[in-house]
Amino acid sequence: MHVLVPSTTQLVWQSRQYIDGAYAAPLELPDIAEQIGFSHYHFLRLFQRNFEITPHQYLIQRRLERARDLLINSNLSVTEVCFAVGFQSLGSFSSLFQRSTGHAPSHYRRRHFQGMSLPRHFIPGCYRTIFGLGLQRVN
């Protein structure tokens, strides 16, 4: 009977997938390393060698990507977005976000919708007519 053992590279990729799925949780390096069965120092070296970024930097990057998406596509407040993506401090979230995008979170949201007077959940009039929604205002 042959047992397939994942390669080190596969395990490091699995750790990245773990971060992608659990980015909103309070993750620490030893917790991530434990998921694939390595010491946290060995895991840190392997992750950095494979992705040219530390696991912590990758986690922050992933959280900021999700925050940008939530700021544009949801009605959550900046504080709600901060906690939804796993940051524990609004101040550190705002400063990291600004360093990453060049804009404060609230300015990023406003800048994205600059010049748009339509509500985010806009339904074109032709669809309202076709589906019998008449002239009701839809938000």
68-127 per-position pLDDT tens digit? 999 999 989 999 999 999 999 999 999 999 999 999 999 999 887 765 544 545 556 555
Residue 18, classed as helix, strand or coil, is helix
The reported pLDDT for the residue numbered 138 is 44
Range with the poorest average pLDDT among 5-14, 37-46, 123-132:
123-132
Residue 35, exposed/middle/buried by CB under 10 A (0-12, 13-18, 19+)? Answer: middle
The mean per-residue pLDDT over the stretch 6-34 comes to: 91
d(CA 137, CA 128): 10
On average, the pLDDT of the chain sits at 84
The reported pLDDT for the residue numbered 139 is 45
The reported pLDDT for the residue numbered 7 is 86
The reported pLDDT for the residue numbered 17 is 94
Q: Tell me the pTM.
A: 0.75
Which position has the token pair 């959280």? 63
Task: Report yes or no: 53 and 28 within 8 Å, Cβ to Cβ.
Answer: no
Closest CA to 9 of 31, 36, 34: 36
Neighbours of 121 (CB within 10 A): 8
